[in-house]
Amino acid sequence: MTPQRPARVGVFGLLGSGNLGNDGSLEAVLGYLRAVHPTAAVDALCGGPEVVTARYRIPTTRLHWYRGEYRTASRAGAIAAKGLGKLVDAVRTAAWVRRHDVVIVPGMGVLEATLPLRPWGFPYALFLLCASGRLFGTRVALVGVGAAPIADRPTRALVRWSARLAAYRSYRDELSREAMRAMGVDTARDEVHPDLAFALPTPPASAPPVSPGPVCVGVMDFHGGNDDRARAEEIHRRYLDGTTRFVRALVEDGRPVRLLTGDGADTTVVDAILAAVDSPLVTAAATASLADLMEETAAAEAVVATRYHNLVCALKVGTPTLALSYAAKSDALMAQMGLGAYCHPAREVDADRLIEQFRELEKRSAELRQTLAERNLDAARRLDDQFTALTAALFPAADKALQETP
C-alpha cells in the first residue's frame, strides 16, 4: 500500500448467505470504506458471492470450494469431497489473502458458538484466513465481532488461534472481550464498541403509532446452541409453543401482529405460527435487509424479538423492545440500551410471564423511547471512534494524511 497504489481491501465472512445481520455488518463497513477510503479496491471472500456482487457491486470469491460444505455428508463420496475441500480451501484462502493489504471481518458472531456449529466449518475457514494473514503480512481485522465461551475443544482452539493471529480486534460488547480473555487471548489493547449495525442509516423519524398499535414479533428457527444438540427438538417445541401462545394472546386483544425474520431458515416458524393463529391480524413481513427491518419496527408500537439483529434494528429506531434472549449477547445489548429488565429466556418461553413483561413494557413506552434516543446518540459517537481507530490501525498512511489536513 503506497501513495501511488490504492489499498487492496478484502472483506470476509458468511455474507450473502441469507442472514440479514451479517449483511448489515458488511454494509456498515462498506459505508465506512467508501466514505473514508474511497480509492480502496474492495472485494469479498464470502458464502453467497452472487448476492454480495449484485447487492453491493463488489467482486467476490466463493468462500468454500465444495458447494455442499454446510450440508450433512453421509455418503462416502460426499465425505471425501468435504475432506478434499478442506485442503483446497487452505490453498484458495492463502492465495486470496496474499492479494490484499488488509482483510476485514465485519462484525458477526465469528468467535462464538451460541448456535450449532462444527469446528471444521466456519471456525476452520476463519483460522485459515488469520493464519494466511500472519504468513503473508496482510493485516486481518476482526471488527466489532461477537465472542462467547466455547466448550467444544476443537472449536475453542480454532477460535482462540484465529483471534491471536489477527492484527486487530474489537468487540461488540464487554462480554465478548472477556470471553476471549478467558480463552487465553491478550485483550489488553482490544476495544469495545456498539454493534456495527448501529452505524447504518436510520429511517426518517415518524410519529409513534396510535395506541394500541401494531406489534412486531421477530421469530427464529431456534433449536438451542452448540451444547444443546441432545435436546434441540424439545427446545424448539417449547420456543414455538410459547411464541405462538403469545401471538394468539395479542390477537385476542385485537392487536395487529407483524412477524419478522432475520434468516431464510426462520420462515418455517412463521408458517407454523400463521397456521396455528388463523387470523387476518397476523401477517408476515418480507424483509431483505436491516433497512427493511428498521422500517417495520419503526412502524410498530412495540417489538418482541429473538434474533440479535432484529433487536438491534428495533432499538436503533427507538421502539420499546422485549428480547426473547437465546444468548448472553442479547442480554448485554438490552442492558447497553437501557432495557435490561425486558429479557425473557428463549429456551423456556413462558407465555403468561411474557405477556406480563410486555404489558409492563408498554406502560413505560414514552420513558423507554426517550432512553433509547439518548443511548442511540451515544452509540453513534462510539462508532465514530471505532472507525477512527480502524483507520489508524489498518491504513496508517491515510491516518497520517487525515491528521495533517488543516
Q: Where are the domains of the chain?
A: 8-192, 215-375
Q: What is the rounded radius of gyration, in angstroms, for the C-alpha atoms of the chain?
A: 21
Q: What is the CATH number of domain 215-375?
A: 3.40.50.2000
Predicted local confidence at residue 12, as pLDDT: 98
Pairwise CA distance, residues 135 & 258, whole Å: 49
For 242, half-sphere exposure in the C-beta direction (CA atoms, 13 angstrom radius) is 25
Alpha-carbon distance of 203 to 199, in angstroms, equals 12
The lowest-confidence range among 75-79, 241-245, 274-278 is 75-79
Contact 93, 64 (CB under 8 A): no
Tell me what the mean pLDDT of segment 305-313 comes to.
Answer: 98
Answer CATH for 8-192 from 3.10.450.50, 3.40.50.1970, 2.60.40.1890, 3.40.50.2000: 3.40.50.2000
> Lowest-confidence range among 99-103, 181-185, 209-213?
209-213
2: number of Cβ within 10 Å = 8
C-alpha cell belonging to residue 100:
490484499
Cell, residue 358: 410486555
Tell me what pLDDT residue 248 has: 97
Look over the chain and give the mean of its residue pLDDT values, rounded to a whole number: 92
Domain 8-192 and domain 215-375, same fold? Reply is yes
Mean pLDDT of all residues in 69-84:
68
Percent pLDDT > 90 in the chain is 84
Q: Is the pLDDT of residue 82 over 90?
A: no
- Residue pair 326/222 in contact (Cβ under 8 Å)? The answer is yes
Which of these ranges, 42-51, 118-127, 171-180, has the smallest mean pLDDT? 118-127
The secondary structure of residue 258, as a DSSP letter, is E
Contacts of 71 (CB under 8 A, 6+ apart): 78
- Which residues is 103 bridged to in the sheet? 10, 140
H-assigned helices in 192-254:
232-252
Mean pLDDT of 49-62: 97
Q: What pLDDT does residue 1 have?
A: 53
DSSP three-state, residue 316: helix
pLDDT score of 117: 80
> pTM of the full predicted structure?
0.92
In this predicted model, which residue has the larger pLDDT, 67 or 95?
95
Residue 366 pLDDT > 80, yes or no?
Answer: yes
Asked if omega into 214 is within 30° of 0 (cis), the reply is: no
